[in-house]
Structure 1
């Protein structure tokens, strides 16, 4: 089942489980939001179109976060006058999870769990920057075994093999010396 809702002067086609980004709505993270402006419903019974709205229909959603959107650059210029101004704007927006649609004799619910993780936290976790959630203690991995010494080799050699050796640095390349002027003069005379 799906519905077409109207909010913030825009229309959105939604179904249970969808995550949508709309113009800023009032409320805190985790609060329930209900939309009454339903323009169209579609489901097993066919499509119901409102004139202009469907009476008695509603869409339920959970507010995940309110954030600033992507930056829009604003550039003003008057040619040949040396006038240039750059500015920007970030619109406030709300992220919603659609949890249910009801109307036209049908209803659909979303069975999943609504996570209130923000986009900034998801991005930080993807880059490995967010603190990890402690899980059950995993069994410790066994320690690496020391290399086994050969029977015929003396113990001193084994200790030397396991020790880290310093890495030799490359010598800087020498520049080619310019030919002496005396050599040039002697070749000209000959």
Structure 2
């Protein structure tokens, strides 16, 4: 397998096709093809100092900050202490080609950024169709989630589930005895009737929006 030694950001790297490495920040967009012209060695050919006509092409994957490095300075007997942090910007690249004799990156590699840029456009075009489908099915189904009832959060949901109540249909079918039972069991002090849980559950099953949301609107 062909390999090369390149120099970038003041450091040297031994690379081969499909290698992924992190280098000093490169000013380019993710998905674009970048070229390293400072090639010190290609297989058995050693440059003086560079190999003439050689270059290495790579795809820029991302640029992000590395982990924090702590810089601590101290001077004895001077009560001097300084502590700073530094996060270096590093670019992650994938080596695509090792080129010689002045060759340029192949068309296949150069076409990759265009394909990636086209992907978001496809997803945006599909977005209206998805939203219209959701809108058409909104009245035909409902989200059976007890947290849609005003005042019921994750904590109350767990308490209700511990007592066998996990759906809006169960609450909608409660009788007066059930209301009294759960009100006493969970120490609600009349909260179920006061907030009209049964009425809210029936409205949600019928496809109406949660009352808290409707009140805001």
With the length of structure 2 as denominator, give the TM-score of the two structures.
Answer: 0.45
- Unmatched tracts of structure 1, length 5 or more: 117-190
SS state at 2:81 partner: strand
SS state at 1:14 partner: strand
Q: Deviations over 1:46-75 (max 9, x none)?
A: x11111111111111000111111211111
Question: Paired residue for 1:50, among 42, 47, 50?
Answer: 47
Q: Deviations over 1:8-46 (max 9, x none)?
A: 11111000000011111101111110111111101xxxx
8 Å Cα contact 2:61/2:94 also seen in 1:
yes
The structure with the greater share of residues assigned to helix is 2
Q: Distance in 2 between matches of 1:23 and 1:105?
A: 25
Q: How many residues align?
A: 112
Q: Distance in 2 between matches of 1:18 and 1:51?
A: 25
- Unmatched tracts of structure 2, length 5 or more: 114-217
1:62 and 2:59 are equivalent in the alignment: yes
Q: 1:48 to 1:104 in 2, by over 3 A?
A: farther
Runs of 4+ with deviation above 4 angstroms: 104-107
SS state at 2:87 partner: strand
Q: Distance in 2 between matches of 1:78 and 1:36?
A: 43
> 1:7 is matched with which residue?
8
Compute the displacement of 1:89 (Å).
Answer: 0.7
- The CA RMSD measured in Å over matched residues stands at 3.3
Q: Distance in 2 between matches of 1:84 and 1:58?
A: 46
8 Å Cα contact 2:53/2:103 also seen in 1:
no
> 1:87 is matched with which residue?
84
> 1:30 is matched with which residue?
31
> 1:71 is matched with which residue?
68
8 Å Cα contact 1:19/1:95 also seen in 2:
yes
> 2:20 is matched with which residue?
19
Compute the displacement of 1:81 (Å).
Answer: 4.3
The structure with the greater share of residues assigned to strand is 1
With the length of structure 1 as denominator, give the TM-score of the two structures.
Answer: 0.51
SS state at 2:18 partner: coil
Q: 1:81 to 1:60 in 2, by over 3 A?
A: same
Q: 1:56 to 1:87 in 2, by over 3 A?
A: same
